[in-house]
């Protein structure tokens, strides 16, 4: 028998068996021969809990002895319902939960696991299981939560899991799984809420059938070798909050249907070969907190409607071909912590390339501003000094910025990294630079700076200039190198 027919027939048998129990009961009551029927039920119970007992022993015997410490309570002096990580249903004394997360277990997953027919939750998260994921898991039609993440499971994701039609959470991230994601899974798991296969080596494209997982809220396939494109059908996942497809070798464009996923909290497709323009006004995700589009081939202008995602915390658009002027008003993004527009092709003409900086002054949690090597032109507005003093990293290097460095920059008291190098700045370095007490990396090289502003009259100013001179010394030694996009 193929594993599929085997597991199906097991399921059918069990279902028959369960419907038999009440029948036996009523018949027994009618005949008033409770004794015989009870003993029959007892036999059934014994048979079943013995099955669980043997299945658990088989599970244990597949763990290498030197890695079994966490299972020392798994011995006959204790009923198996009290073994470490095991929970049973109160009525039937059958195993319903196995939670062995982070127990240092090394070994393979016994096929006997498929005999624990009352199992609802299996977590082997963060151990060192090797070998394949047992196809017998497909027998566990009551299974709701399967967590195999952070192990060394190899081979394919078993197609038999499609029989676990009660599955809500499936997580097999950070293993060594290969092959295609079985399209059958997507047809038959209508209750699936979480699908996490991040950091494996799955190939063969992201199957469009995933669009059938209509309960899905969390989709994380980050770090696989899928290739292909983003299936249009993913736009059917109306409940989706997390859309994480970064680093999956996908190309093409973001299909318009994705812009219909208005509940998205995180949209991450960084490190792919995606391209094309994003809709100027149709990029509407009111709940979005994390937007990661870095390191693709997106072009056209930065969508204006991003400014309506008022919950945004991380905005990462670096390493693309975005062009034109950044005309966004970010003043509505009060929670913004990181904005990265670095390595793009903006329009350097005119003096207002960085005009949008003023709107960032409302972002009181701002920490990182990455704008280097993006062909920004124009002046650095005085309003830079009105950015939140939570900013610790600001990189403006390798652009076409001109005019003087505004002295207001000294307001950013907690700045640790400031990159202004390779621009067309003129004038002198403002003495207020000395107020940047936290500075660790300051880069001003390759400009037309004539020296340090020296109009110090008060002792305070003189002190700041002294510090500035020390910093200047630092400048000569340091080459700014930071990496913000991940």
Ligand X SMILES: *[C@@H]1O[C@H](CO)[C@@H](O)[C@H](O)[C@H]1NC(C)=O
42 or 349, CB closer to ligand X? Answer: 42
Q: How far is the CB of 32 from ligand X (least distance, A)?
A: 23
Q: Establish if 275 lies at the interface with ligand X (CB under 6 A).
A: yes
Going from the C-alpha of 279 to that of each of 66, 85, 333, 341, 437, the distances in angstroms are 57, 50, 19, 17, 42
Angle at CA 379, nearest 5°, toward 374 and 382? 120
Task: Read off the tokens for 138.
Answer: 């497909």
Strands 86-88 and 95-99: antiparallel
Closest C-alpha among 403, 393, 438, 397 to residue 421: 397
Find out whether 418 and 434 touch, Cβ atoms under 8 Å: no
Q: How far is the CB of 275 from ligand X (least distance, A)?
A: 5
Strand partners, 466: none
Q: Establish if 106 lies at the interface with ligand X (CB under 6 A).
A: no
Determine whether 12 is exposed, middle or buried from the number of CB atoms within 10 Å of its CB (0-12, 13-18, 19+): exposed
Q: How far is the CB of 286 from ligand X (least distance, A)?
A: 8
Q: Establish if 87 lies at the interface with ligand X (CB under 6 A).
A: no
Q: What is the CB-side half-sphere exposure of residue 264 using CA atoms within 13 A?
A: 28
DSSP 268-323: E--SSEEEEEPPSS----TT--EEE--SSEEEEPPPGGGGG-TT--EEE--SSEEE
| Interface pick for ligand X out of 299, 375, 389, 416 (rule CB under 6 A) | 299
Q: Establish if 359 lies at the interface with ligand X (CB under 6 A).
A: yes
What is the tally of helices (H) and strands (E) in the chain?
Answer: 4, 30
Q: How far is the CB of 304 from ligand X (least distance, A)?
A: 4
Count of positions on this chain that bind ligand X (CB under 6 A): 63
Task: Read off the tokens for 38.
Answer: 């009870």
From 31-39, 67-75, 244-252, 471-479, span contacting ligand X (CB under 6 A): 67-75
Q: Establish if 152 lies at the interface with ligand X (CB under 6 A).
A: no
DSSP state of 116: -
Which are the contacts of 35, defined by CB distance < 8 A and separation ≥ 6?
A: none
Q: Establish if 117 lies at the interface with ligand X (CB under 6 A).
A: no
Q: How far is the CB of 310 from ligand X (least distance, A)?
A: 9
Q: Whole-angstrom Cα distance, residue 160 to residue 137? A: 7
φ, ψ of residue 401 in degrees (nearest 5)? -80, 140
Q: Establish if 425 lies at the interface with ligand X (CB under 6 A).
A: no
147 or 160, CB closer to ligand X? Answer: 147
Q: Establish if 5 lies at the interface with ligand X (CB under 6 A).
A: no
87 or 323, CB closer to ligand X? Answer: 323
Q: Establish if 101 lies at the interface with ligand X (CB under 6 A).
A: yes
Q: Whole-angstrom Cα distance, residue 195 to residue 147? A: 10
| Interface pick for ligand X out of 108, 123, 151, 447 (rule CB under 6 A) | 123
34 or 382, CB closer to ligand X? Answer: 382
Which residue in the block uniquely carries the two structure tokens 């109009």?
455
Site for ligand X in 230-259 (CB under 6 A): 233, 235, 256-257
Q: Torsion angle of alpha carbons 252, 254, 256, 259, nearest 10°?
A: 180
Q: Establish if 77 lies at the interface with ligand X (CB under 6 A).
A: yes
DSSP 338-394: EEE--S-EE---SS-TTGGGGGGGG-TT--EEE-TTS--EEE--GGGGGS-TT--EE
237 or 429, CB closer to ligand X? Answer: 237
Q: What is the pattern of x (binds ligand X, CB under 6 A) and - over residues 29-48?
A: -------------x--xx--
Q: Establish if 382 lies at the interface with ligand X (CB under 6 A).
A: yes
Site for ligand X in 160-219 (CB under 6 A): 169, 171, 194, 196, 201, 203, 208-209, 211-212
Find out whether 246 and 266 touch, Cβ atoms under 8 Å: no
Neighbours of 28 (CB within 10 A): 17
| Interface pick for ligand X out of 2, 19, 72, 458 (rule CB under 6 A) | 72
Task: Read off the tokens for 144.
Answer: 């709701």
374 or 443, CB closer to ligand X? Answer: 374
Residue nearest to ligand X (CB): 331
Q: Establish if 223 lies at the interface with ligand X (CB under 6 A).
A: no
Q: Establish if 350 lies at the interface with ligand X (CB under 6 A).
A: no
Q: What is the pattern of x (binds ligand X, CB under 6 A) and - over residues 311-340?
A: ------------x-----x-x---------
From 22-30, 123-131, 347-355, 420-428, span contacting ligand X (CB under 6 A): 123-131
72 or 483, CB closer to ligand X? Answer: 72
Find out whether 447 and 420 touch, Cβ atoms under 8 Å: yes
Q: Establish if 276 lies at the interface with ligand X (CB under 6 A).
A: yes
Q: How far is the CB of 459 from ligand X (least distance, A)?
A: 25
36 or 466, CB closer to ligand X? Answer: 36
Query: Interface with ligand X by CB under 6 A: which residues?
Result: 42, 45-46, 49-51, 53-54, 72-73, 75, 77-79, 101-102, 104, 111-112, 114-115, 123, 125-126, 136, 145, 147, 149, 169, 171, 194, 196, 201, 203, 208-209, 211-212, 225, 233, 235, 256-257, 260, 275-277, 281, 299-300, 304-305, 307-308, 323, 329, 331, 358-359, 362, 382-383, 386
């Amino acid at each position: 028998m193929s594993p599929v027919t085997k597991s199906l027939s097991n399921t059918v048998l069990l279902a028959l068996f369960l419907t038999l129990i009440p029948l036996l009961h009523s018949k027994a009551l009618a005949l008033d021969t409770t004794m015989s029927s009870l003993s029959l039920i007892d036999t059934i119970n014994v048979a079943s809990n013995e099955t669980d007992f043997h299945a658990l022993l088989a599970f244990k015997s597949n763990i290498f002895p030197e890695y079994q410490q966490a299972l020392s309570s798994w011995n006959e002096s204790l009923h198996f319902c009290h073994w470490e990580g095991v929970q049973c249903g109160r009525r039937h004394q059958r195993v319903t939960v196995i939670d062995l997360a982070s127990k240092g277990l090394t070994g393979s997953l016994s096929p006997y696991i498929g005999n624990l027919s009352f199992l609802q939750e299996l977590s082997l998260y963060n151990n060192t299981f090797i070998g394949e994921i047992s196809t017998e898991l497909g027998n566990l039609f009551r299974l709701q939560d399967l967590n195999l993440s952070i192990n060394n499971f190899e081979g394919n994701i078993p197609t038999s899991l499609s029989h676990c039609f009660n599955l809500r959470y499936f997580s097999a991230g950070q293993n060594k799984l290969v092959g295609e994601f079985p399209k059958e899974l997507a047809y038959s798991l209508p209750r699936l809420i979480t699908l996490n296969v991040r950091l494996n080596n799955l190939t063969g494209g992201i199957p469009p059938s995933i669009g059938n997982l209509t309960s899905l809220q969390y989709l994380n396939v980050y770090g696989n070798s899928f290739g292909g494109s983003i299936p249009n059908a993913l736009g059917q996942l109306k409940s989706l909050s997390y859309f994480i497809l970064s680093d999956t070798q996908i190309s093409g464009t973001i299909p318009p249907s994705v812009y219909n996923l208005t509940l998205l909290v995180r949209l991450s497709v960084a490190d792919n070969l995606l391209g094309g323009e994003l809709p100027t006004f149709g990029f509407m995700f009111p709940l979005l907190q994390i937007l990661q589009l870095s390191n693709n081939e997106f072009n056209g202008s930065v969508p204006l409607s991003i400014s309506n995602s008022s919950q945004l915390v991380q905005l990462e658009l670096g390493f693309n071909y975005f062009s034109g002027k950044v005309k966004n008003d970010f003043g509505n993004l009060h929670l913004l912590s990181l904005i990265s527009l670095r390595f793009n092709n903006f329009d350097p003409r005119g003096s207002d390339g960085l005009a949008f900086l003023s709107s960032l002054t409302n972002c009181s949690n701002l920490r990182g501003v990455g704008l280097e090597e993006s062909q920004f032109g124009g002046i650095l507005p005085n309003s830079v000094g009105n950015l939140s003093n939570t900013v610790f990293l600001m990189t403006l290097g390798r652009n076409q910025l001109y005019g003087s460095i505004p002295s207001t920059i000294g307001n950013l008291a907690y700045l640790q990294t400031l990159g202004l190098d390779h621009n067309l700045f003129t004038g002198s370095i403002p003495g207020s630079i000395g107020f940047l007490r936290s500075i660790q990396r300051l880069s001003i090289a390759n400009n037309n700076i004539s020296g340090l502003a020296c109009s110090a009259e008060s002792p305070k100013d003189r002190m700041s200039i002294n510090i500035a001179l020390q910093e200047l010394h630092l400048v000569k030694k340091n080459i700014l190198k930071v990496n913000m996009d991940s």
